[in-house]
Structure 1
């Protein structure tokens, strides 16, 4: 479930999808995202090897990760922005998010976030640690899914991906996953020991802020909200690693 949801890799469908399976899938999100991190790292290294400009390399890496995840999180970011920006009525906002088309708020948010991601990764490439920054940001962004699906976080709808995964991750496990990734990040190559952990923390703080806003405005999470949190978290991680 984790690989099939978060990547475009062809894997067999899960035999059973229940709340236990969903919770484990959200905990395994960073591991399922390892192919995406490897792809981003490979593109950055290739771009540096052939002498591409840092911004062009960053754009290729960000675009490849988006394609390799079927644009799922980018679509969620756009729909969430439209829902939050269009109406203070909860039902109206959820209906706008359900439609699937993109309004001006969603498009503007999507463009802005992608620009920031590419600019931040280009800064990391120019600073000499672009490949590590790309990998850490991809993994840190997906790791926030356990936070977003922790116990106590409700679903905004009675159906859909949000309803399947909402509240499925025990809080101690969500904390343990965060601490484990933060500790592993300390040994990320090419960075001071504190840089990558700082990026993981920044990713979770950014996701928490958006999550809190969505819970207050929408009444809980949806699949779109999860995607938006991943993209915002990835952006925060890249910004922390940009200099």
Structure 2
């Protein structure tokens, strides 16, 4: 692996995970596969979360209340990602919550309309993430809060790769199938890089115990949800991959709020 290859993979991952502009040269001859580019998801998470992190630190530094600053930061994050992961969470909640039948659940998840389970999941996701981030901001200050938000973004993108890797596709078609799946080397690289990022950012600004807590919470949420999805659907979909990002992000932020 060269630095040039990792840069290309990161650019492609940013292009997939966000609406941020990426130079066209990074996609010359690209077949659309994320098998290798998935290794760069945590690095892409740092880039995707950077605008929200900068806004969070700036608004806190100028005296804005942590709750308001957190709402603004998550709003920017949603705009940067195009609410990609929130869409996956709502679709997964609708399918998994509305029926016990596997085929019916998969059909519901393909419906673009949002149902009551999806709406409730989004409300809970934004409510929990906002309140947890606000508690973190109040405890550790502007720069440390920005570092925590960036680290959690990296952890939650690695969680997506892990979920995608350990579960087979639930369908024979769909986005997750068309994009290819992470291979073992990509999954390992994404996991290790996310752990290093979290250790450096959270460990340096909040403490090693907090860093370990955030990593453990994200891992537990990912493992628990993956096991549940396996039992209900037999495998992953693009929606469950997006839902994994949201659930692991919620878990990591809640752990930080508890431990800081």
Q: What TM-score results when the alignment is normalised by the length of structure 1?
A: 0.91
- Give the superposition deviation at 1:175: 3.6
Structure 2 equivalent of residue 231 of structure 1: 246
1:165 and 1:42 map into 2 onto residues whose CA distance is 31
Answer 1 or 2: which has greater helix percent.
2
- Give the superposition deviation at 1:165: 4.8
- Give the superposition deviation at 1:144: 1.0
Match of 1:178 among 178, 184, 191: 191
Structure 1 equivalent of residue 71 of structure 2: 59
Q: Contact between 1:199 and 1:240, CA under 8 Å: does it hold in 2?
A: yes
- 1:3 aligned onto 2:14: yes
Alignment of 1:69-218 (within 5 A): 69-128=81-140, 129-150=144-165, 152-165=166-179, 167-170=181-184, 173-188=186-201, 189-218=204-233
- Give the superposition deviation at 1:166: 6.0
SS in 2 for 1:88: coil
- 1:31 aligned onto 2:43: yes
* Runs (5+) with no aligned partner, structure 2: 1-11
Q: Contact between 1:7 and 1:33, CA under 8 Å: does it hold in 2?
A: no
- Give the superposition deviation at 1:187: 2.4
* Runs (5+) with no aligned partner, structure 1: none
1:167 and 1:68 map into 2 onto residues whose CA distance is 24
Q: Contact between 1:182 and 1:201, CA under 8 Å: does it hold in 2?
A: no
Provide the aligned length of Structure 1 versus Structure 2.
Answer: 239
2:210 and 2:220 map into 1 onto residues whose CA distance is 15
SS in 2 for 1:33: helix
Structure 1 residues 118 and 239: CA distance shift in structure 2, 3 A = same
* Cα displacement string for residues 37-87 of structure 1 (whole angstroms, at most 9, x for unaligned residues): 212220111111221111000011111111100011000000000000111
2:233 and 2:114 map into 1 onto residues whose CA distance is 18
- Give the superposition deviation at 1:161: 1.6
2:181 and 2:151 map into 1 onto residues whose CA distance is 26
Q: What TM-score results when the alignment is normalised by the length of structure 2?
A: 0.85
Q: Contact between 2:167 and 2:226, CA under 8 Å: does it hold in 1?
A: no
Structure 2 equivalent of residue 220 of structure 1: 235
2:87 and 2:193 map into 1 onto residues whose CA distance is 29
* Cα displacement string for residues 88-142 of structure 1 (whole angstroms, at most 9, x for unaligned residues): 1111101101011110011001101110000000001000232222111111111
SS in 2 for 1:106: helix
